[in-house]
């Protein structure tokens, strides 16, 4: 086990307490290389740096198999999305490649000293089989970034990809309101949308179709 702690004094305390049961490394996890082989992460992240640390883990060339991290409740909702809160750009970025779940809502008294905000234990489990194919990945990212960046309703934000007729049929088949905000759609509904768009693009690119 390797523990990374940025505070030198806490490092010395951990070395005294744990002895040779763990390797204690003094430094910033954001600047340290991650292991080359299989590994898992367990940590209480500094709340101000949560997004940077999660980005480092999930975008690493060799990401962890699992990560159990304590984060501020609002950050947990942002990464987990539905069913804990509305889907966000971050939750949609993660979910094709990661199972994201809030395992525990922690009490302030679980910490010493107690924090001024609520915390949760967030679990990220890397999917062995992603829900988006490698060929669809770029389209998926472009699609969700554009739709969330455009603002307004899902109907208006997807006009670049979907006709009114297609949106009407998809909203019926996938059970969502076309005038809903993007955050109101569940991840499964986003998957249905992107798979339809990918099929349409594949048909238009097939030989003999103009």
Q: Which residues of 164-184 are buried (b: 16+ CB within 10 A; e: fewer)?
A: eeebeebbeebebebeeebbe
**Residue 161 domain-assigned (yes or no):** yes
Last residue of a domain, one of 108, 126, 144: 126
Is 7 part of a structural domain of the chain?
Answer: yes
Beta pairing partners, 120? 71, 105
Residues 116 and 178 in one domain: no
In a domain, 210, yes or no: no
> How far is residue 87 CA from its own chain's centroid?
10
Residue 120 in this model has a pLDDT that exceeds 70? yes
- 148 and 114 together in one domain: no
Co-location of 187 and 164 in the same domain: yes
Contacts of 114 (CB under 8 A, 6+ apart): 108
CA distance 93 to 55: 10
Q: Do 42 and 115 belong together in one domain?
A: yes
Find the CATH number of the domain harbouring 159.
1.10.8
Residues 109 and 153 in one domain: no
Write down which residue in 81, 105, 126 finishes a domain: 126
- E strands of the chain, at which residues? 2-5, 23-26, 40-44, 66-72, 98-106, 119-126
**Pair (21, 90) in one structural domain:** no
Q: What is the DSSP letter of 133?
A: -
pLDDT band with cut points at 50, 70 and 90 for residue 112 = confident
Q: Are residues 27 and 46 in the same domain?
A: no
Same domain, 24 and 39: no
Task: Identify the domain containing residue 187 by its residue range.
Answer: 134-205
pLDDT band at residue 208 under the 50/70/90 scheme: very low
Report d(CA 94, CA 127) in Å as an integer.
10
Q: In this structure, are 115 and 49 located in the same domain? A: yes
Nearest to 5 by CA among 36, 32, 34, 33: 32
Are 40 and 26 members of one domain? no
Residues 5 and 73 occupy one common structural domain: no
CATH of the domain at 67: 3.40.50.150
pLDDT surpassing 60 at residue 60: yes
Q: Do 178 and 122 fall into the same domain?
A: no
d(C-alpha 36, C-alpha 16), whole Å: 28
pLDDT tens readout for residues 154-206 = 999 999 999 999 999 999 999 999 999 999 999 999 999 999 999 988 887 65
Residue 59 bridge partners (DSSP):
none
In a domain, 8, yes or no: yes
**pLDDT tens digits, one per residue of 70-94:** 999 999 999 999 999 999 999 999 9
Within a domain: residue 153? yes
Longest dimension (CA), the chain: 72
The CB density around residue 142, as the number of other CB atoms within 10 Å, is 14
């Amino acid at each position: 086990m390797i523990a990374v702690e940025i505070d030198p004094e806490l490092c010395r305390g951990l070395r005294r307490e744990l002895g040779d049961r763990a390797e204690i490394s003094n430094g910033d996890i954001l600047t340290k290389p991650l292991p080359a082989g299989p590994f898992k992460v367990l940590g209480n992240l500094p709340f101000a740096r949560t997004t940077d640390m999660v980005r480092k883990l999930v975008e690493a060339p060799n990401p962890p198999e699992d990560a159990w991290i304590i984060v501020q409740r609002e950050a947990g909702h942002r990464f987990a999305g539905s069913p804990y809160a509305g889907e966000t750009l971050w939750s949609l970025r993660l979910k094709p490649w990661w199972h994201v779940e809030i395992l525990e809502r922690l009490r302030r008294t679980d910490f010493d000293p107690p924090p001024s905000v609520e915390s949760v234990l967030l679990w990220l489990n890397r999917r062995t089989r992603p829900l988006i194919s490698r060929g669809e990945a770029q389209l998926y990212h472009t699609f969700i970034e554009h739709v969330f960046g455009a603002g307004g309703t899902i109907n208006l934000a997807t006009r670049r990809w979907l006709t009114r007729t297609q949106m009407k049929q998809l909203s019926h088949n996938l059970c969502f309101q076309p005038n809903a905000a993007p955050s109101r759609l569940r991840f499964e509904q986003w998957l249905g949308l992107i798979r339809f768009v990918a099929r349409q693009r594949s048909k238009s690119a097939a030989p003999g179709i103009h």
